[in-house]
Structure formats: structure tokens, C-alpha cells
Amino acid sequence: MAAGVVCAGFDGTHLGADLEKFLRDVPLAGLTLFGRNIESLPQLRTLSDSLRAALSSPIIAIDQEGGRVARIRDGVEEIPSALAIAAACTSEQSDEPAQRAGAQVAFDLRRAGVNIDFAPVLDLALARMNTVIGTRSFGDDPQRVAKLAGAFAAALERGGVVATFKHFPGHGSTAVDSHVDLPVIDVDEATLRARDLIPFAELLPGAQAVMTAHIVARAFDLDRPATLSPRILTKVLREELHFSGVCFTDCLQMDAIAKRVGSERAAVEALAAGADCVLMSHDIDLTARTVETIARAVEENKLSRARLEEAHARVLKLRGTLQAPLPLDARPPFPGIGEYIGLHAVTLIRGEAHAGDSAAVVSFESPTLEGAQGAHERHAALSEFAKVKEIRLSLEPRGEDIDAALARLGNDRPVVLMRRAHIYPQQKSAIERILAAHPDALLVSTREPFDAFDFPQARTVLCTYGDDAPSIAGLAAVLFGGKAARGTFPLTGAPVARG
């Protein structure tokens, strides 16, 4: 029974003999897939088929949110970020892009043999320095986040994939990434209930799955992370919000938990607090020890047998609803929806969106380590979609590199692709130098859009909410192809032009 409340991650792109034997000896609830497990869609389907052969009705889960958190990249429709989806929903009444994105993601996951998506995010985009959530959020308005995330999730589930709302009770107001440390939210309970909890309160009563946040919300529990807090996972989640589905923990190997509590001990504490399925994403040996630790905790009365049985029963019930895969060559429901969102999300903050014939791109880019994503080094280039000179600078360029870029620009009009200029001071300084030399420079915020408002001297500013291929292709169509920038700025309180 202890194994049946644990999901594991593993290395490799196929089911080797050792892993197959482990799964037959230790019948886990299921497996979580990551980029390290994926070479191609057909290979992934072969892998998921072999996992189903080794385990009975296993959970096969993945993080496929869109934008920068998407484990499957090739052979599927590339979907821009949740914030881009929100920007593409250009009226308060319309959630159609969110619905279509969810349906297309479900289709692609079913072809891969995946049955649970750890998405969508219900966290609010509240903190300027928050990059762990950032563009993964549908915005900062709790009601609109609930509407759009709910539309995405409902379409996922109509398509046969279980949606998992995350990260309860809300990770949006933290500046610390829980992959590397333990964030603390130190606001009063009334604020949390009127803000962070609203999307969860609206969507969880009928939901099949939720995922916890490794954050301390002091208004609810002074010391314990939500993942380990009986008050948060039992009293608030179960009793107050009437959630009756499966509560997954976020990965217990994340440093917010592993370095402070320890993954094995945390698995027991999370189950005791009210979680139903614990995630161990990176180490099969640790997973095996965790299963033994859970079983021993029951024997030693550190975890009640009734609580373990309750968790196991919920997981089994969910596993009984999981849908079979679709054929690899099945017909997609909404082909091109990623490109549609990428184009319709492009938002003009002010100015004239068309770059003209003598433009040159200055792109700030370097590999970064993103907690939920891992290494982020895939940037779509504007030069892939338009015939334009491209000058690349690092996220924190040196003075001599800026000098060289300005010399290369000559009399060309700069199109500046910003990446978190509000976080990188040398990038901000470089942009100010470009604007001083070229007042007509066109600025594009390509990640979290907070830097779009840091340059009041800029005449033209746009946002894309991602640097994935659909978003940059949409930007190219606006700058060089005569398309209008029709996106609606998805955060509250910012003036937006239309062009």
C-alpha cells in the first residue's frame, strides 16, 4: 500500500530491465516524465506503453503547461505561456483560446500516452521579482485566472487528461524559487483568502487533482510548508474548500523540502498532513527508501493506517478513471492554435508597432537555470521569421559589448528584445544607452512584462510573454508583416494602446 501513494521520476528514454523489475516488485502509483525521458513523440509513446505493461493502470504524468514549462517539444503543437493565452483572450467574455489550447494539449498528451497533466497554474502573477511563476500564471486578477485556468482544465479533461491545479495555496507572491529554498508569504489571512485562494476556492470543489506548494503561508501555519501542514491540507483544502480529489505534493526532492526536512521524512509528514500522493522526481533509489519509510512509519504509529488507506483509496479511484492513449496519427482538434495565440497575444503598450524597413534586432539572451524548467537556452530568433540583422548580447552585457553593438547598429532602428531587464541591471543600463542613441528604438518585453514599464522614455513598447517559436513568429508578423498587435495586457492597472 505504501508504494501506491508514491510517483517516481527516473532517468533514461526506455524501460530498462532494472527499472522494469523495480516496478513489478514495488507497484508505485505511477511515474512522472521529464525532458530527460523524451527523444521524440514516437519514442515517448513506446516508453509509456512499456510503463503500462509493467504497472496496472499507472499514473503517467507530466508538466505540460505551455511556454517555458513544456516537457514535450517536438511532434506536438507548441503552446505559448499561460500569460500569453490570457493576453490572446481579447475580451472579458472570451476564453476560447484557453479552451482550444487545453484541448490541443490533451490531444498531444494522449498521443504520447500521458494521462495526467500537472497543469494549469492557479498562482497569481503578483510579484515583480517572481520568476518561478511569472508567465506561467494567467494573470493577477483572481477571478480571471479562475476563468481561464478553468477553461483550459475543462478542455484537458474533455480530452481525456486529468488536470492538476497548482500550487496550493498559491505561489504567486513569492520572490524565492522553492526549487532552491523555502519561500515565506507573510501577509494576513484576509488578504490570502481574498486574493491567492480565490481561484482554488472556485475550481477545487469539482476538481480531480491539486498539487501543493512548498511555501510557508504564515497566516495559516507559522512554520510548516503547505505541503506538510495539516491546517492547510486538511482544514483549508478539505474541510473549507470541499476538495475531494487527489492531493499531489510538489516534488519532495526540491531544496525547499529536501534541505530542510529531508525527502523521506517529508513524505510521511505530507501524508499525515492530508496529501495523497507524494512525488519523488529524480532518484529511484530514494523512491525505494521512501516507500520503506512510509511503511515503517505506519508500523511505528508515526502515520495512521487509516490515513494511508484513505490516501491509497483516492489514488486508486483516480487511476480507475485514466484514459487509454490515442493513435499517434489521430486528427488534431485545433491545429495551429499555438501560432494563433502567439500572434493574438502580442500587446502594444504604446507607440506604433511596425518596425519599418531599416530595423536591426538587439537580443539579450543567455542560458538560465529555471527551477521548474531546468536549463532554458532555447530562444526563437526573430531572424527565423523575418529577414533582419540580429545582434546578440548576454543578459548582463559588458560595457565594451554594448559599445560594439551600438557600432554595429549604425543608423538602423533597434528592435530590442528584453529578457527580464527589471532583474538584470546591466541589461537595463544597456537598453538606456540604446534609447539615448536611438530614441526611436522599439522595445519588446519577451518574458515577464514588468520591464515593459521601466523605460518611460521609449516611444514604442510591446510584450509577447514568451520567447517560444509561436510568440516570436507572432511578433515578427506584427513588426514586419503588417499584422495588428491585438493582445490585451493580462495584468491589472497598466495602460495599453491598440495598434
Residue 272 falls within a domain, yes or no?
yes
Same domain for 29 and 122, yes or no, is yes
Same domain for 144 and 278, yes or no, is yes
Model pLDDT, residue 368:
63
Mean pLDDT score of the chain, rounded to an integer?
A: 94
Please tell me which residue in 179, 214, 282, 312 is annotated as part of the active site: 179
Same domain for 301 and 208, yes or no, is yes
Same domain for 19 and 110, yes or no, is yes
Domain extent, residue 285, equals: 3-319
Residue 465 falls within a domain, yes or no?
yes
Same domain for 377 and 237, yes or no, is no
**Residue 179 annotated as catalytic:** yes
Q: According to the 3-state scheme, what is the secondary structure of the chain?
A: CCHHHEEECCCCCCCCHHHHHHHHHCCCCEEEECHHHCCCHHHHHHHHHHHHHHCCCCEEEECEEECCEECCCCCCCCCCCHHHHHHHCCCCCCCHHHHHHHHHHHHHHHHHCCCEECCCECCCCCCCCCCCCHHHCCCCCHHHHHHHHHHHHHHHHHCCCEECEEEECCCCCCCCCCCCCCCEECCCHHHHHHCCCHHHHHHHHHCCEEEECCCEECCCCCCCCHHHCHHHHHHHHHHHCCCCCEEEEEECCCHHHHCCCCHHHHHHHHHHHCCCEEEECCCHHHHHHHHHHHHHHHHCCCCCHHHHHHHHHHHHHHHCCCCCCCCCCCCCCCCCHHHHHHHHHCEEEECCCCCCCCEEEEEECCCEEECCCEEECCCCCHHHCCCCEEEEECCCCCHHHHHHHHHHHCCCEEEEEECCCCCCHHHHHHHHHHHHHCCCCEEEECCCHHHHHCCCCCCEEEECCCCCHHHHHHHHHHHHCCCCCCCCCCCCCCCCCCC
Average pLDDT (117-142) is 93
Contact assessment for residue 47 and residue 15, using Cβ atoms and an 8 Å cutoff: yes
Residue 38 falls within a domain, yes or no?
yes
Residue 494 falls within a domain, yes or no?
no
The domain that holds 447 is classified in CATH as 3.40.50.1700
Same domain for 353 and 465, yes or no, is yes
Q: Per the structure, how many domains does the chain have?
A: 2
Residue 495 has pLDDT above 70, yes or no: no
Residue 91 has pLDDT above 90, yes or no: no
pLDDT digits (tens, 9 = 90+) for 327-377: 999 999 999 999 999 999 999 999 999 998 899 999 999 876 555 555 556
**Residue 63 annotated as catalytic:** no
Same domain for 308 and 421, yes or no, is no
Residue 339 falls within a domain, yes or no?
no
Average pLDDT (381-401) is 93
Model pLDDT, residue 369:
59
Residue 175: band (very low, low, confident or very high) from pLDDT cuts 50, 70, 90: low
Model pLDDT, residue 127:
85
Residue 35 falls within a domain, yes or no?
yes
Same domain for 360 and 241, yes or no, is no
Residue 20 falls within a domain, yes or no?
yes
pTM of the model: 0.95
**Measuring CA to CA, which residue among 109, 161, 40, 71 is closest to residue 14?**
40
Residue 418 has pLDDT above 90, yes or no: yes
Model pLDDT, residue 32:
97
The domain that holds 180 is classified in CATH as 3.20.20.300
pLDDT digits (tens, 9 = 90+) for 63-85: 999 999 999 999 999 999 999 99
Same domain for 234 and 369, yes or no, is no
Same domain for 76 and 25, yes or no, is yes
Residue 327 falls within a domain, yes or no?
no
Residue 498 has pLDDT above 50, yes or no: no
Lowest mean pLDDT among 21-30, 76-85, 136-145, 252-261: 252-261
Same domain for 372 and 230, yes or no, is no
Residue 172 has pLDDT above 90, yes or no: no
Please tell me which residue in 250, 276, 412, 467 is annotated as part of the active site: 250
